Amino acid sequence: MDKEQAKLKIQELKEVLEYHAKKYYDEDKPEISDYEYDMMLKKLRTLENEFPEFITKDSLTQKVGGHVKAGLTKVEHEVPLQSLQDVFSFDEVEDFFLKVRKEASDNNIKNVKYVVETKIDGLSAALEYKNGEFVRGATRGNGLVGEDVTENLKTIKTIPQKLKENIDITVRGEVFISKQDFEKMNQEREEKEEELFANARNAAAGSLRQLDVKIVKDRPLDIYIFNVQKIEGKQFNSHYEELEYLEKIGFNVNPIRIFAKDIKEIFSAIEKIGEKRENLTFGIDGAVIKVDDLKLRQILGTTSKVPKWAIAYKYPPERKETKLKDIVCQVGRTGVITPIAIVEPVKVAGSTISKTTLHNEDFIKAKDLKIGDTIIIQKAGDVIPEVVDVVYSKRTGEEQEFTMPDICPVCGARAVREEGEAAIRCTGIECPAKLFRNLVHFASREAMNIEGLGESIIQQLLDKGLIKNIADIYSLKLDDIKSLKKNGEKFANNLLNSITASKKNDLNRLITAFGIRHVGVKASKILARKYQTMDKLANATFSSLSFTDEIGPIVADSIKEFFMQEQTIDLIQKLKKAGVNMKSLESDEEFDNRFDGKTFVLTGTLSKYTRDQASDIIEKFGGKTSGSVSKKTSYVLAGEDAGSKLTKAQSLGIEVISEEDFENMISN
């Protein structure tokens, strides 16, 4: 490669790496695997070593990736939070060992020891303590400047707020989410139809950098401390000694650390951690080899980006060949139909894999997968097995094409793929695979508002076979329910009263309860007012629906699809028979749209209304509510202790109204 070619290639790699670093560090939404990123960075480093005249300060070989997120306060690190030099072979580990040994010999230092630790796959953070009290915490950022995430870090139970000694100390640790907690989080997000986290590292990073601490409290963050950045009034000779002290004063220290005195023991420690990798409760992406002697560390020094006294050995993703025996489809609680690869059992990274997800139709087409193919499987992020390639050279011509079903394999309802989506969904409201989720939504506060019929009770009713579809809610008896709780007769009576009361709900609540795709509370109110009865809505034409305010063709198509299903027709008949109201309690002619085109923002505490009640009133009169103030905001309804939204409204010149003003507006 000549100089001009090298220059162009280096520039190309820098641009691609910057893009993916932004996705990884700043947005917590990586588009490529860590291994692919590492290989590109290694290629860039090799080219820069060969053509050093093209090295620039903005290259990711010279700096730490990551920027300060807008909305978070900058923190300058007194001691830089550097990254580590990644290596991918034992030859590179030995090169590091020989360099350290030479430097130690030149400085008459004998018996050099090393500590080999797990490289935890999370987000690095610095914790600062004054007189033993936790005062501030920050992310690594670019190594020199990070983000103040003190309040978020305080939600992590394994971070001590008060140490066992009154000392000034700054430590560094890795914030992570355990494998088990990560799987549980993604399962819950899937049930709520929220975007899944790509991996545990990004889930942890995205959680720690949230602007709303309430969100962070619901995320199962943990931390392991692995370094003393700065300490007042104490001196240590070795890294291992530091770690023991950190444990003594109350820190949750990286649990795996192995002493090694020569290259053989270093190799052995790396292999030992690699063998344990699969059974660890937390994810790792390598092993860190550190010089133990702190005096030798000072002699070895650092570059602008990495210390010369430590390296990170990155384990290569283990890949195995196997046979794709079949592709079957499973239906999730949200109705998404997912293709699953059934493969000949193969052991990958310590686990026996017999099946794995193929995600969706587009994934199968992109990989050109056929039943009978020989495929390559690897473990992604130490947790999820994935198909990475097809061995085309082993095709015999007997392989079979796979086509995603157009009917649900569980209930037989139509399965549809909407424009712009990768997922194919079951449209049946009585599909057994979706039943639990549909029941929870039907009974929820914004839908039929059946108090007492929560997830736990619904699951018990399903387990006991007391309900098999939504309409069965209205056939429940006192004896059915009271057996679910100890001394449960009072609970049963209250629940039955709530079920009976729900029969009188306005039509808009029933429409909401059906959970029609794209039809929320507001659209349900609009539809109920316009069509007045369930039968008229069910028979509405596509044209009539699509020209309804705030409905449009996509939602109209979803509504038509829903009411065409035999399961929907069956459910409506059952609900009618049970006495559930099918009419709007508010006629379209009587509709008062005095707030049409107006957007309200609510802030502070109201004395006469909850925020939900105030929002309902605004929407009843044709208005909208928003969670943030902008130039498009019409009014800010401010109660007691109004905060930043009030300040922003005043700065933008937006009209601020009191609760009394609001009452005057709705009473006239």
180 lies in a domain? yes
CA distance 498 to 453: 9
- pLDDT tens for residues 261-272? 999 999 999 999
Residues 283, 137 share a domain: yes
Question: 């917590």: which residue's tokens?
Answer: 28
Q: What is the domain extent for residue 368?
A: 319-394
Domain end call among 374, 394, 414: 394
Note the pLDDT of residue 406: 92
212 lies in a domain? yes
Sign of the CA dihedral running 341, 343, 346, 352? positive
List, in sequence order, every residue forming a beta bridge with 357; answer none if it has no partner. 340
pLDDT band at 668 (very low <50, low <70, confident <90, very high): low
CA distance 407 to 567: 13
pLDDT band at 142 (very low <50, low <70, confident <90, very high): confident
pTM recorded for the entire structure: 0.55
Q: List, in order, residues 6 or more apart from 207 with CB less than 8 Å away.
A: 152, 177, 215, 216, 219, 221
Q: Which CATH number fits the domain that encloses residue 120? A: 3.30.470.30
- pLDDT tens for residues 186-224? 888 777 767 777 678 888 888 888 888 888 888 999 999
CB atoms within 10 A of CB 25: 22
Per-residue DSSP letters for 543-581? HHHHTSTTTHHHHHHHHHHHHHSHHHHHHHHHHHHTT--
- pLDDT tens for residues 271-295? 999 888 878 889 888 999 999 999 9
Residues 363, 217 share a domain: no
pLDDT band at 612 (very low <50, low <70, confident <90, very high): confident
pLDDT band at 302 (very low <50, low <70, confident <90, very high): very high
Strand duo 284-291 + 257-260: pairing: unpaired
Note the pLDDT of residue 31: 67
Catalogue the active-site residues.
119
Helix (H, G, I), strand (E, B) or coil at 187: helix
Q: Which CATH number fits the domain that encloses residue 529? A: 1.10.150.20
108 lies in a domain? yes
User: Could you give the C-alpha distances from 581 to 129, 158, 422, 503, 588, in angstroms and in order?
Assistant: 62, 52, 37, 6, 17
- When the pLDDT of each residue in the chain is averaged and rounded to a whole number, the result is 88
More confident residue, 160 or 34: 160
Residues 337, 302 share a domain: no
Burial class (CB in 10 A: 0-12, 13-18, 19+), 426: buried
Residues 188, 87 share a domain: yes
CB-CB contact of 376 with 387 (8 Å): yes
Residues 494, 355 share a domain: no
More confident residue, 643 or 363: 363
Q: Which CATH number fits the domain that encloses residue 341? A: 2.40.50.140
187 lies in a domain? yes
Residues 46, 78 share a domain: no
178 lies in a domain? yes
68 lies in a domain? no
**Number of folded domains in the chain?**
5
pLDDT band at 352 (very low <50, low <70, confident <90, very high): confident
pLDDT band at 586 (very low <50, low <70, confident <90, very high): confident
CB atoms within 10 A of CB 75: 20
Torsion of CA 342, 343, 346, 350, to 10 degrees: -30
Residues 448, 365 share a domain: no
Task: Compute the chain's Rg from CA coordinates.
Answer: 30
Residues 445, 521 share a domain: yes
594 lies in a domain? no
CB-CB contact of 470 with 580 (8 Å): no
Helix (H, G, I), strand (E, B) or coil at 425: strand
Note the pLDDT of residue 590: 55
Domain end call among 266, 298, 313: 313
CA angle 382, 387, 389 (to 5 degrees): 125
CA angle 468, 470, 471 (to 5 degrees): 95
484 lies in a domain? yes
- pLDDT tens for residues 470-493? 999 999 999 889 888 877 888 999
pLDDT band at 310 (very low <50, low <70, confident <90, very high): very high
Whether residue 497 is predicted with pLDDT greater than 70 in this model: the reply is: yes
CA distance 95 to 116: 16
Question: 């099946």: which residue's tokens?
Answer: 355
Note the pLDDT of residue 589: 52
Q: List, in order, residues 6 or more apart from 185 with CB less than 8 Å away.
A: 177, 197, 203, 219, 220
User: Could you give the C-alpha distances from 340 to 66, 355, 370, 417, in angstroms and in order?
Assistant: 36, 7, 13, 18
Judged by average pLDDT, the poorest of 141-145, 351-355, 528-532 is 351-355
Residues 357, 261 share a domain: no
Q: Whose CA is closest to 263, among 84, 108, 95?
A: 95
More confident residue, 66 or 281: 281
Residues 298, 206 share a domain: yes
Q: Which CATH number fits the domain that encloses residue 618? A: 3.40.50.10190
Residues 133, 49 share a domain: no
Tokens at residue 588, please?
A: 């379209």
Q: Whose CA is closest to 263, among 366, 116, 410, 381?
A: 116
Whether residue 37 is predicted with pLDDT greater than 80 in this model: the reply is: no
Residues 502, 474 share a domain: yes
